[in-house]
């Protein structure tokens, strides 16, 4: 009898014997066990850390507001931006800026975004974390072609025929029938998501609701979105990325050494390299998003406060937790969001507190710095109970209709290395699961290296993680509703998914964007 790799993982034999992973060792061309990817070194002179103040992306202004809907118009275009002091970087940005403008929305009030494409390539825009009808979900082949673009010049995909494409612009309709949460929007073009997000196509989309507004947690200027990502820069300030075809019009993919993921050596927060932010000695809420292509971080504070946990988590990908969770460190994989409160009253005025990355080395071990510069009265409180709509009580593994298994590993496609799910690469025409609307299922994921696995449309709860070395409990940082789970090497993780919202077909995929572009993606259809 042949024992599958999956059985090996479940029995804990792989870690025990240290064998039998087809590509296990070689797929991990990483600086350490905690990262999957390869470092690309900048040629530009890099600034010292903590010299540039943090900036916040502007809040987008609706072009029209009526009783049911807020209307926006965003133009995707190229523009110069000073990211490294004294140098210009050509970014591809929503309204020409990186990060794009933040969309502020209310739960249950619709948002319609007209996305116009003035870039030289096709785009598709996805609202990550959104419960969105399929026509507006930013399917990888549901493209907005540039005005005057001939579809024949474009790389042909199997199954692409028949996909609707739009020319010049597309209206995305978001009902936003969902809880308050920190979402983000980003490019999702088939085969080219990695380089297009890297060039700047990402922004925040924040949903608020009455339940959250009523809480006494930090608000207004003390509710701060932080988009963390890594980039590398060429001498002249341009972004470096190892595309096979840097015009992004021909062959997709990256140079072979980078197939595990592209890691930059500059850490940006809201597009600013290693910024500093002045704060008062009060509580602040930070909506932390890892918008990196491949880099994982482990967030920590230095110095740590004398008493109490550095981070009080109040929300996850899918909004508020039922009760706050206290963490000393927070691992964060690409696309995950952590909504945390940091209490600067635990520090003396004058203290400089660094947000560290414990998985980095040298300059990538710093993210940003908070300078506690003044005293202020704090009106905020973190209540023991945050949310009653989190509703895990109504979601119980015994109600799951079935369990499906998905193995995320390196594979081959037409003689080339690729990334697959159950050894198959993405084919827009193939549907691998047909869950029923309103049902719950258990999805079980196994891995070779790190794969942050993301499902569109739905949210899930992490039930267990199992590996030889680490036991089977979920991590404390797995709490709450998730849409992305940070799978670690040789892990078996089980998640409980509720298929709610809309019928139609959606993708799930690895959110290491190099893996995604190298086809680690599949369709499920809510039937
Ligand atoms: Cu954030 Cu399908 O992606
Ligand atoms: Cu998504
Ligand atoms: Cu992956």
Q: Which domains does the chain have, with CATH numbers?
A: 64-213 (2.60.40.420), 220-374 (2.60.40.420), 397-526 (2.60.40.420)
Which structure tokens are listed for 215? 């809480």
Instruction: List the residue whose alpha carbon is closest to atom 1 of ligand 1.
Output: 128
β-bridge pairing 110-117 and 166-167: unpaired
| Ligand 1 geometric centre to CA of 385 (Å) | 30
Counted residue by residue, the chain has a size of 527
Q: Is the Cβ–Cβ distance between 514 and 259 less than 8 Å?
A: yes
Which structure tokens are listed for 183? 């979402």
Round to whole Å and give the CA distance between 142 and 130. Answer: 17
Round to whole Å and give the CA distance between 182 and 385. Answer: 19
Atom of ligand 1 nearest to the CA of 484: 1
Instruction: List the residue whose alpha carbon is closest to atom 3 of ligand 1.
Output: 128
Q: Residue holding tokens 């079980």? A: 444
Bridge partners (DSSP) listed for residue 459: 498
Round to whole Å and give the CA distance between 411 and 90. Answer: 35
Q: Which ligand is nearest to the CA of 185?
A: 1
Q: Which ligand is nearest to the CA of 411?
A: 3
| Ligand 3 geometric centre to CA of 240 (Å) | 21
| Ligand 2 geometric centre to CA of 456 (Å) | 4
Per DSSP, the three-state class of 25 is helix
Position 73 scores a pLDDT of 98
List the pLDDT tens digit at each of the 527 positions of the chain: 456 666 667 665 444 333 334 443 333 444 457 999 999 999 999 999 999 999 999 999 999 999 999 999 999 999 999 999 999 999 999 999 999 999 999 999 999 999 999 999 999 999 999 999 999 999 999 999 998 766 544 444 444 444 557 899 999 999 999 999 999 999 999 999 999 999 999 999 999 999 999 999 999 999 999 999 999 999 999 999 999 999 999 999 999 999 999 999 999 999 999 999 999 999 999 999 999 999 999 999 999 999 999 999 999 999 999 999 999 999 999 999 999 999 999 999 999 999 999 999 999 999 999 999 999 999 999 999 999 877 665 577 788 989 999 999 999 999 989 999 999 999 999 999 999 999 999 999 999 999 999 999 999 999 999 876 666 889 999 999 999 999 999 999 999 999 999 999 999 999 999 999 999 999 999 99
| Ligand 1 geometric centre to CA of 60 (Å) | 21
| Ligand 1 geometric centre to CA of 346 (Å) | 37
Position 394 scores a pLDDT of 59
| Ligand 2 geometric centre to CA of 128 (Å) | 4
Atom of ligand 1 nearest to the CA of 186: 1
Which structure tokens are listed for 25? 């060792």
Q: Which ligand is nearest to the CA of 510?
A: 3
Atom of ligand 1 nearest to the CA of 507: 2
User: What residues line ligand 1, using a CB cutoff of 6 Å?
Assistant: 126, 128, 186, 188, 335, 454, 456, 507, 509, 511
| Ligand 3 geometric centre to CA of 229 (Å) | 17
Round to whole Å and give the CA distance between 151 and 145. Answer: 8
Which structure tokens are listed for 53? 């103040």
Q: Is the Cβ–Cβ distance between 372 and 353 less than 8 Å?
A: yes
Residue of 168, 233, 476, 210 lying closest to 340 (CA atoms):
476
- Report residue 435 CA to chain centroid gap: 24
Helix (H), strand (E) at residue 210: helix 210-213
Residue of 83, 92, 140, 120 lying closest to 513 (CA atoms):
140
- Write down the pTM of the prediction: 0.94
Atom of ligand 1 nearest to the CA of 335: 1
Q: Which ligand is nearest to the CA of 507?
A: 1
| Ligand 2 geometric centre to CA of 316 (Å) | 15
| Ligand 1 geometric centre to CA of 184 (Å) | 9
Helix (H), strand (E) at residue 13: helix 13-17
| Three-state SS annotation for 260-288 | CCEECCEEEECCEECCEEEEECCEEEEEE
Atom of ligand 1 nearest to the CA of 516: 2
Q: Which ligand is nearest to the CA of 132?
A: 2
Q: pLDDT tens digits, residue range 51-106?
A: 999 999 999 999 999 999 999 999 999 999 999 999 999 999 999 999 999 999 99
Atom of ligand 1 nearest to the CA of 521: 2
Round to whole Å and give the CA distance between 97 and 117. Answer: 14
Q: Is the Cβ–Cβ distance between 338 and 332 less than 8 Å?
A: yes
Residues 6+ apart with CB under 8 A from 518: 253, 259, 417, 418, 419, 425
Position 466 scores a pLDDT of 85
Which structure tokens are listed for 270? 């809201």
Position 150 scores a pLDDT of 60
């Amino acid at each position: 009898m042949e024992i599958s790799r999956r059985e090996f993982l479940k029995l804990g034999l792989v870690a025990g014997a240290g064998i039998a992973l087809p590509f296990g060792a070689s797929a991990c061309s990483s600086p350490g066990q905690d990262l999957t990817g390869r470092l690309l070194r900048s040629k530009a002179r890099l600034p010292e850390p903590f010299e540039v103040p943090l900036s916040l992306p502007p809040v987008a202004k609706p072009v029209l507001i009526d009783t049911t809907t807020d209307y926006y118009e965003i133009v995707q275009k190229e523009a110069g931006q000073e990211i490294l002091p004294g140098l210009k970087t050509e970014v591809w940005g929503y309204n020409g800026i990186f990060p794009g403008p933040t969309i502020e929305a209310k739960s249950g009030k619709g948002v319609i975004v007209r996305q116009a494409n003035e870039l030289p390539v096709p785009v598709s825009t996805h609202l990550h974390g959104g419960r969105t009808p399929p026509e507006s979900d930013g399917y990888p082949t549901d493209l907005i072609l540039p005005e005057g673009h001939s579809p024949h010049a474009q790389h042909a995909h199997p199954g692409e025929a028949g996909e609707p494409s739009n020319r010049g612009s597309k209206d995305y309709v978001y009902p936003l029938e969902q809880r308050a949460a920190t979402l983000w929007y980003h490019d999702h073009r088939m085969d080219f998501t990695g380089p297009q997000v890297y060039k700047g196509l990402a922004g925040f989309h924040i949903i608020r609701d009455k339940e959250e507004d009523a809480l006494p947690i930090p608000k207004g200027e003390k509710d701060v979105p932080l988009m963390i990502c890594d980039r590398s820069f060429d001498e002249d300030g341009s972004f470096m990325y190892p595309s096979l075809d840097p015009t992004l019009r021909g062959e997709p993919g990256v140079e072979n050494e980078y197939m595990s993921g592209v890691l930059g050596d500059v850490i940006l927060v809201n597009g600013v390299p290693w910024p500093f932010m002045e704060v008062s000695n009060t509580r602040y809420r930070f909506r932390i998003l890892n918008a990196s292509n491949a880099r994982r971080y482990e967030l920590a504070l230095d110095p740590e406060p004398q008493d109490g946990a550095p981070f009080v988590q109040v929300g996850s990908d899918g909004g508020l937790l039922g009760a706050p969770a206290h963490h000393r460190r927070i691992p964060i994989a690409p696309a995950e969001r952590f909504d945390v409160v940091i209490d600067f009253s635990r520090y003396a005025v004058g203290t400089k507190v660094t947000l560290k990355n414990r998985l980095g080395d040298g300059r990538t071990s710093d993210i940003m710095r908070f300078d506690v510069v003044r005293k202020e009265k704090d009106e905020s409180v973190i209540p023991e109970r945050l949310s009653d709509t989190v509703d895990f009580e109504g979601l119980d593994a015994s109600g799951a209709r079935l369990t499906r298994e998905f193995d995320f590993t390196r594979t081959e496609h037409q003689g080339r290395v690729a990334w697959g799910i159950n050894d198959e690469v993405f084919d827009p025409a193939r549907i691998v699961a047909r869950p029923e609307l309103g049902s719950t299922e258990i999805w079980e994921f196994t891995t070779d290296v790190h794969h942050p696995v993301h499902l569109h449309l739905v949210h899930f709860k992490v039930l267990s993680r199992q590996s030889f070395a680490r036991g089977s409990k979920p991590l404390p940082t797995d709490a709450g509703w998730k849409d992305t789970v940070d799978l670690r090497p040789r892990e078996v993780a089980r998640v409980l998914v509720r298929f709610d919202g809309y019928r139609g077909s959606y993708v799930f995929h690895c959110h290491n964007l190099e893996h995604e572009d190298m086809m680690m993606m599949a369709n499920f259809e809510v039937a």
